[in-house]
A and B are shown apart, each in its own frame.
Chain A
Amino acid sequence: MNNLVIGQYVPGDGLLYRLDPRTKILMTIVYVFLLVFANDWQSYLWSAAFLLTALLLTRQGLGLYWRGIKPILWLILFTVVLQLLFSGGTPVLFTFGPVKVTTPGLINAVYVVVRFVLIVLMSTILTITTAPTAIASAIESLLKPLKFFRVPVAELALMLSIALRFVPLLMAETDKIMKAQKSRGMSLSTGSLIKRAKAVVPLLVPLFVGALQRALDLANAMEVRGFESAEGRTRYRELSYGRDDTLAFFATLIFAIGFVWLSIL
């Protein structure tokens, strides 16, 4: 579980670390949105070049990103096979029983893989360079307009950051309960499907009871330290928009214009 790179923050000092988290979130959204419309090799190449620049600006080793892609290799392979087998069209490259592999199918498969990898890498760049708390406060800041519709944005952001904070703790607890139940003879990997599903119950019950107890304790600790409402609190880490952010927006703009131009061609 611990070598999962997706969603993990890795401290560093590249240019992308210094950007405002709001900038990074918006850049990622724009990038992913545009990528959905990529339909020829030029636009994919252009997108890949943009990604590579961002990747180098994180100043993290490429091995880190490879580890980010590795766990989803099977998923990628699966989509490739689907695309190859069911795309249809002509000309047919070769047939294998009832299955036909066509040129458009092959091209589609390559595109899907590239698109998939680019999207995953871009989001990995975001999470690797941005601490979870920074993401939470950026989301709060970006969603501020929703306050107009009485959406409790500050509360939601606080809930999000606390949830993120408790993920490693609950993972460790799950591990502990699993070992405790295994030592009592529980098995999650043998027996029929129903039997295995039933074996999950003695795992979930203590996990939920423990989580509720933690929630109560945490609520007490927060209240005692003067928490009354998520609204109106000051911020230890203030988000600040700087020159680097303007630069990043220009870069994104150039990318977007180039992308649209390549698509129209």
Chain B
Amino acid sequence: MTDAITIKKLTYAYPDQEALFKDFNLSVAVGEWLAIVGHNGSGKSTLAKLILGLLDFDEGQVTVFGQVLSEQSLSAIRRQVGMVFQNPDNQFVGATVADDVAFGLENHQLPSIEMPAKIERALKQVGMADFADREPHTLSGGQKQRVAMASVLALEPKVIILDEATAMLDPEGKQALLQNLKELKARYQDELTLIMITHDMEEAAMADRVAVIDDGRLVFDEKPETLFLKGDRLRALGLAQPFAMDLQKSLGIMNPSYLTTQELATWLSTLKA
């Protein structure tokens, strides 16, 4: 079976800088939930831009569902891969929520008559259907990000890349967005591949697999259950462990099945009973 995304021998350097990526390899299976983590400047966001052809790489190959990324295949690939960016304000194109979701549909030349149903469906999936006529400046950051998510969902992509999508949100907005992601993944199962770029380990713990990037190198590529047992080595890379793992360590237990605070709390309370 072909992978959703394959990156082979990628080399990329920002103009007048040393190469950020050298012979970089990574593949993402269909239906997988991958987290890409790394400290600031490790190259994780650059990687997302390279996959979507927003930056041109020097050498190597990016393949999306068997299709090699090139000038010609660019628009076809962008139809399959959607992306939610970090800043909620800077990706809001429309004057209202509905107009923003419509923007992508208009680009894809969907007939006007089919748009309202698609927009409503996409907004429902992120719980923002009641906000269709609202203007962006009346929404919270978390709500804007969910609209950005709806705008991507309306285009029915097979892969969604979230580039630090929760970094600028308050805890509440962040939880709502993550909860929403879980629901979407549960609903679409293997039809939706998620790539979550983050420096938040709680988020990374939600993924099936975590790729740790440091200065353009792939340092770890494994399941979160095993990765988070390597607390000291993660810390050396400027990354923290999830709080749940820190707590387990202090308590003298090491059970990698409970990676998020919520899971651990539930487990601990069953122990007491």
A253-264 CB contact bits vs B (8 Å, 1 = yes)? 000000000000
User: Which residues does chain B contribute within 8 Å of A11, judged by CB atoms?
Assistant: 133
Contact B91 A223 (CB under 8 A): no
CA distance A161 to B52 in the complex (A): 26
Decide yes or no whether B218 CB sits under 8 A from chain A.
Answer: no
For residue A238, which residues in chain B have a CB less than 8 angstroms away from its CB?
Answer: 112
Closest 10 CB pairs of A and B: A236-B102, A217-B90, A221-B91, A225-B104, A226-B107, A233-B106, A133-B95, A168-B137, A224-B83, A214-B90
In the bound complex, do residue A236 and residue B85 qualify as a contact, i.e. CB atoms below 8 Å apart? no
Q: Which of A91-130 contact B (CB under 8 A)?
A: none
Interface size on A, residues (CB 8 A): 31
The interface size of chain B toward A, counting residues with CB under 8 Å, comes to 42
Q: Which residues of the other chain, B, contact A224 by a CB distance below 8 angstroms?
A: 52, 54, 78, 81-83
* Shortest CB distance A137–B (Å): 11
Q: Check: B87 CB closer than 8 A to any chain A CB.
A: yes
Asked if B30 is at the interface (CB within 8 A of a chain A CB), the reply is no
| Docked pose: A265 CA to B151 CA in angstroms | 60
B124 CB–A CB distance under 8 Å: no
Say yes or no: is B155 at the interface (Cβ < 8 Å to chain A).
Answer: yes
Does A179 interact with chain B (Cβ within 8 Å)?
A: no
A165 to B96, CA, bound (A): 9
Most buried by B among A131, A164, A220: A220
Does A172 reach chain B (CB closer than 8 Å)? yes
Give the CA-CA distance A215 to B104 in the complex, in Å. 18
Chain B residues positioned under 8 Å from A132 (CB to CB): 95
Q: Is the CB of A234 within 8 A of B105?
A: yes
The residue in chain A whose Cβ has the minimal distance to the Cβ of B98 is: A236
User: Are A225 and B90 also in contact (CB < 8 A) when A133-B95, A172-B137, A237-B99 are?
Assistant: no
Distance (whole angstroms) from the CB of A128 to the closest CB of chain B: 15
Asked if B93 and A222 sit within 8 Å, CB to CB, the answer is yes
A218 at the interface (CB under 8 A from B): yes
The proximity string for B residues 133-148 relative to A, scoring 1 for CB distances below 8 Å and 0 otherwise, is: 1011100000000001
Separation of A224 and B108 alpha carbons in the complex (Å): 12
Tell me if B99 and A220 are in contact (CB < 8 A). Answer: no
Closest to A173 in B: B89
- Show 25 A/B contacts (Cβ-Cβ < 8 Å), sorted by A: A131-B95, A132-B95, A133-B96, A133-B99, A164-B95, A165-B93, A169-B136, A169-B137, A214-B89, A217-B90, A218-B93, A221-B85, A222-B93, A223-B54, A224-B82, A224-B83, A225-B82, A226-B104, A228-B107, A233-B109, A234-B106, A234-B110, A235-B106, A236-B99, A237-B102
| Distance between Cα atoms of A225 and B147 in the complex (Å) | 13
Report the bound CA distance from A133 to B115 in whole Å.
17
In this complex, what residue of B is CB-closest to A216? Answer: B90
- Bound Cα distance A214, B148 (Å): 15
Contact of B49 among A164, A220, A236 (CB under 8 A): A220
Judge if A75 is at the interface, Cβ distance under 8 Å: no
Question: CB within 8 A of B112: which of A133, A162, A214, A236?
Answer: A236
Q: Tell me whether A217 and B87 are in contact (CB under 8 A).
A: yes
Task: List residues of chain A with CB under 8 Å of any chain B CB.
Answer: 11, 131-133, 161-162, 164-165, 168-169, 172, 213-214, 217-218, 220-228, 232-238
Which residues of chain B are within 8 angstroms of A223 by Cβ–Cβ distance? 52, 54, 78
User: Which residue of B has the minimal Cβ distance to A238?
Assistant: B112
Contact B93 A162 (CB under 8 A): yes
Q: Tell me how far the C-beta of A27 lies from the nearest C-beta in chain B, rounded to whole angstroms.
A: 23
Residue pair A220, B54 in contact (C-beta under 8 Å): yes
Query: Does B240 touch A at the CB level, under 8 Å?
Result: no
- B136 & A165 in contact (Cβ 8 Å cutoff): yes
A227 to B85, CA, bound (A): 16
Given A214-B90, A220-B49, A224-B83, are A232 and B78 also a contact pair (CB < 8 Å)? no
Give the residues in chain A near B137, CB-CB below 8 Å.
Answer: 168-169, 172
**What chain B residues lie within 8 Å of A225 (beta carbons)?**
78, 82, 93, 103-104, 107, 151-152, 155
Residue-wise, chain B 63-102 has the 8 Å CB interface mask toward A (1 for contact) of 0000000000001001101110101011111111011001
Contact of A235 among B90, B112, B152 (CB under 8 A): B112
Q: Is B111 an interface residue, CB under 8 A from the partner?
A: yes
| Residue contact A228 to B75, C-beta cutoff 8 Å | yes
Q: Is there an interface contact between B93 and A221, defined as CB atoms closer than 8 Å?
A: yes
Please give, as numbers and ranges, the residues of chain A lying within 8 Å of B133 by CB-CB distance: 11
Which partner residue on chain B sits nearest A11 by CB separation? B133
One of B79, B91, B105, B151 near A217 (C-beta < 8 A): B91
By a CB distance below 8 angstroms, the chain B residues around A172 are 137
Identity of the chain A residue whose Cβ is nearest the Cβ of B91 in the assembled complex: A221
A227 contacts B92, C-beta separation under 8 Å: no
Q: With the chains together, A228 CA to B123 CA distance in Å?
A: 24
> Could you tell me if B94 and A165 are in contact, using CB atoms closer than 8 angstroms?
yes
- Which residues of A are found within 8 Å of B98, using beta-carbon distances? 236
